[in-house]
Amino acid sequence: MSALPPKRESFGSKFGVIAAAAGSAIGLGNIWRFPYVAGENGGAAFIILYLAFVIAIGIPVMLSEFTIGRRAQQNVYGSFRKLAPNRPWYLIGIMGVVAAFMILAFYTAVAGWTLEYIYQAITGGFNGKTPGELNNMFDSFTSGTSRPLIWFFVFMGLTAFIIMAGVKNGIEKSTKILMPLLLIILVILIVRSVTLPGAAKGISFLFKPDFSKIGASTVLEALGQAFFSLSIGMGTLVTYGSYIQKSDDLGSTAFSVAMTDTFIAIMAGLAIFPAVFAFDITPGYGEGLVFVTLPNIFQQMPGGTIFSIMFFLLLGVAALTSTISVLEVIVAFFVEELKMKRKAATYLATFSVSLLGIMCVLSTSSMADFKIFGFTVFGLMNFTTANILLPLGGLLIVIFVAWFFGRDKAKDELTNGGKLKALYLPVFMFIIKYVAPLAIAFVFLQGLGLINLK
Ligand code: PFF
């Protein structure tokens, strides 16, 4: 007697889909990574490039992922297997699962830092500290071993706990409340940040482009950041797409998610750069930027303690709704391909990601001198996923939809079998056929120094 496979889970409502997908997209990438990468790459000119990439490439890739996932109703590997039997397209799926391992490892390390900062905020650890002392506080925390490791495991545990319970109730419900709350707190921080003395320099850094700062590597960083921030190029949104109901409009969902994500990134920039300049921190400070700048702002505000608790709490939550989505990629793969139970799959995924994660955590301390291609393990995961694996995945995904899956099936999926208009279809097809593949390939080769057209 062969039992029917259990019915696949799906999101309950369109708002739930947007909350979950935006929950995946909005995270440390917006609030932690975007400001320091923009800072290291000259600010406004970088941001313009970033926006161009989100609109011209990001949204079409996101839509392609949703299309594949909802059509196939499978994990990322299974989706390509199903839509292209006996063809090598499933390699995109394998690449996606590998990227998920790598992202989860270093991302959870940073997510752990947010827990330390929640703890510090609650115990008044920032109070009375000078900018220099806050800087030292970050350095001495990350150069330790036990605390960052403990927080890493706590965060992995939280992620695993939610995934085990099933995504629907956890993510859908919590993101609907927590995302708007994050927005409110960001607005308050922006108001405080832009009214600090000396803030004007930060605002012009953010909005006044200096194109002389743009080099080949900047373009690749902007593309990489767009992919990372939107959670695209590795099948996270193929996986989530497979949980979207057949009656939802994929086009407007992708558009809303991408716009919300971009809006939050710019807002985070507005909260952070004015303060960076006001406190004389270098915008290219790197991974510690947010962890040093924000406590400085809180120091200057009435009620700073309460806001710092709220901020780091929400940063942690934003990170959690992202780590969940990455772990789901691996767990869905284990469940459907290795026929594992969800619980066992989650244990296995969590355990194996942790092995790599420990090395990422120790990259700022005992393994700081262990370098591969000049990167620490943390740096290597951060750089290769965002700047190589995700754009490469995105390139192959659009080529797959445009040239293999084809216009007719894409149209069928995007119009829900003819029920919706999807007037954007010709533009979408044109972009995924020509614009996106050429642009990604070009930026990629140029950024890696394999061609030089300048
Ligand atoms: N988009 C998330 C962020 O900006 O924090 C990070 C991320 C999540 C990247 C999921 C990739 C992914 F599949």
Higher pLDDT: 273 or 303? It is 273
Domain boundaries, the chain: 14-447
Q: Which atom of ligand 1 is nearest to the CA of 390?
A: 11
The answer to whether 287 touches 37, Cβ cutoff 8 Å, is: no
Q: Judge whether residue 1 has pLDDT over 50.
A: no
- Distance of CA 253 from the midpoint of ligand 1 (Å): 17
Ligand 1: which residue has its CA nearest to atom 10?
231
Residues 6+ apart with CB under 8 A from 450: 444
Predicted confidence at residue 296, as pLDDT, reads 84
What kind of architecture, by CATH, is found in domain 14-447?
Orthogonal Bundle (1.10)
10 Å CB burial of residue 245 (0-12, 13-18, 19+) is middle
Confidence of residue 11 (pLDDT cuts 50, 70, 90): confident
Find the range with the poorest average confidence among 23-37, 102-116, 268-282. Answer: 268-282
Q: What is the pLDDT of residues 365-379, one digit of tens each?
A: 888 889 998 899 999
Please give the mean pLDDT across all residues of the chain.
89
Q: pTM for this structure?
A: 0.91
Alpha-carbon Rg for the chain, nearest whole angstrom, is 21
Return the structure tokens found at 371: 């370098």
Q: Judge whether residue 2 has pLDDT over 50.
A: no
Predicted confidence at residue 171, as pLDDT, reads 60
CA 113 from centroid of its chain's CA atoms: 17
Q: What is the pLDDT of residues 84-137, one digit of tens each?
A: 999 999 999 999 999 999 999 999 999 999 999 999 999 999 888 888 899 899
Which of 65, 101, 322 most suits a substitution to test ligand 1, by most atoms within 8 Å of the C-beta?
322
Q: What is the pLDDT of residues 317-376, one digit of tens each?
A: 889 989 999 999 999 999 999 999 999 999 999 999 999 999 999 998 888 889 998 899
CB atoms within 10 A of CB 421: 11
Which of 229, 234, 239, 261 most suits a substitution to test ligand 1, by most atoms within 8 Å of the C-beta?
229
10 Å CB burial of residue 4 (0-12, 13-18, 19+) is exposed
Q: What is the pLDDT of residues 82-91, one digit of tens each?
A: 999 999 999 9
3-state helix, strand, coil in the chain (%, to 5): 75, 0, 25
Q: Judge whether residue 253 has pLDDT over 50.
A: yes
Q: What is the pLDDT of residues 422-436, one digit of tens each?
A: 999 999 999 999 999
269, amino acid identity = G
CA–CA separation, 305 and 299 (whole Å): 8
Q: What is the pLDDT of residues 142-198, one digit of tens each?
A: 999 999 999 999 999 999 988 887 756 666 776 677 777 778 888 888 888 888 888
